Structure 1
């Protein structure tokens, strides 16, 4: 595909999407949801081809899980569009406004960005989430999914484009860049003036490549080296439930916990319960010397951890475990090794939780809750286009508002400047 031509077509299509009313956009999303459900069998067959090819090529089971679509997952993708339709339209929201002393009325108002592009890896649900978020916020979208999900993405986008056509809108408002390898991604990264913002979502290498090589403005989504810290004042039963959920609920996603930190004053009793529970859930533990000894006492092998474990986003049923001397020691560990995604503290000490929240510099901080809640849907944003770990424009789950920019509207009565 000629990437620049595709971007030009998306730019033209964005002009048709930009003025749509909320009613128009919501009707479009609901029609897309219905069409996806109607075409479930076609989508799942296409996905089966991707899954079979991925397994044949040695794709890990964690990545296969991220890739897989079945009837329930297609229904969930469609429901995400319905949930988006139920959300307020960010376009036209007045961020701030006032009447100046000279009589001018000034309003800073949310408007669409124009063309949002996304480069991402083997999660075909992201294809629909990104398209829905872009359209609801008045944008066109250009999508470059990973080759592992090529058939799935093509089937999903074909459904979305058909609904656009049926609605009398240009189908290029949702464009899939198919093939072309790294050269296609390079063209997308340098389509300045055609693409207004580019969002990479995937592994560290992909994100680094896009951030370092783009001339298009980038919103950086980061890898998820997430931590759960069990404080001295933690309810240990609650802490175990949170640790298990954070690690095992869906280990292949970026908000899954990768490191468990335990205050030394509760380490003996907590690890005695946590190590067998995590082992029973299929988790391989990588621990410091104290955790290794606790594993031996429980008759469970714990792999000796090193710096690579503290730095690693496993995306699998592996968990690094370290006993820390204090809250400050836990914060120092997170400060050194975290990717800035999500950190959690389990404690009944209000002072400890406040210090943790104030000191930890991450996009999301959980107090007595699983790291798995760093998710646009869980936090009331509807579907998310990614989780930003940068600090400019957007940070944390990016929903509708994060896909808009602002325009200053100044209304006068013949005002001229002295």
Structure 2
């Protein structure tokens, strides 16, 4: 049992940390509040090869191990969680395409996705279907060699930059159970009838867009059916979300780490009643609590990531890590704000952004309450054990 990063992983983390401290931390607060798109940061991530995280080496990607994958999202989120969103949806789809795509689809898209020349996201959620993906209403009707797609998708990250955009559809709306009639189509961004209609306003998670996408009579060649077989869409999407939960857990660790850094620094520098506030036991207790939750969340996230690297099914492990880390992030952000007192509520300090970003972690990639049900069912059925 080894709880240490390898030399290669440490070097990778240090490279990421330098990039984040130099390119993201100095501008995050200003750009987040102004709504400026982080073009220069995206270009930096391209130069580091980060858009190829989940792309096999044969297509020019990094093919990173899952612990290094987690390190990436942890470090970037420490600087600005919204930036991690740009990379997250892209990486989930790259993994899905590499695992489930036809050879032609892999050859056509993965090399450019690896460099960031192409970017992508994933369109699952709809106005009336979030957690209940089998309840989607977007349909794809076969017409000769094409599918004709009609529907609306919501909360789509990278919607204005994704090409192609994988869209979960119902190719057989009458199938029972519903998932047998669901497929994923790789929709080219220049398809007539494909429109990004609005950017959705958000409490946090700034830096990347979250959009409504409307598809009206969009004709998509049948060659764009992911994997070339109908009825596999929900399975393909859910398998990719295992990596997505590692992504969210790691982002949560990054938020918690920044909350700890900011709280520790403030406790040392801020004085009250003639001494640093870190000398008061009440502040010390909160600092200790943040540190404990942070390190526990990090170890659980790395554990789940290492299980995936071992090649075992790890939906239970990734779900547990996501639940724990996301709730730890919110608690750490809240405690960091309390340590800052009134300044924690000011937009001049970093902790107010952490406080706004953290709640999304308990919602994204499956709400925590739903994931608790998934974990419990796995335990009750004997598919997962805790020893």
Q: TM-score band (shorter)?
A: under 0.3
Q: Which has the higher strand share?
A: 1
Q: Structure with the greater relative contact order (CA < 8 A, sep ≥ 6): 1 or 2?
A: 1
The TM-score with structure 1 as length reference comes to 0.25
Which protein shows a greater Rg? 1
Q: Which has the higher helix share?
A: 2
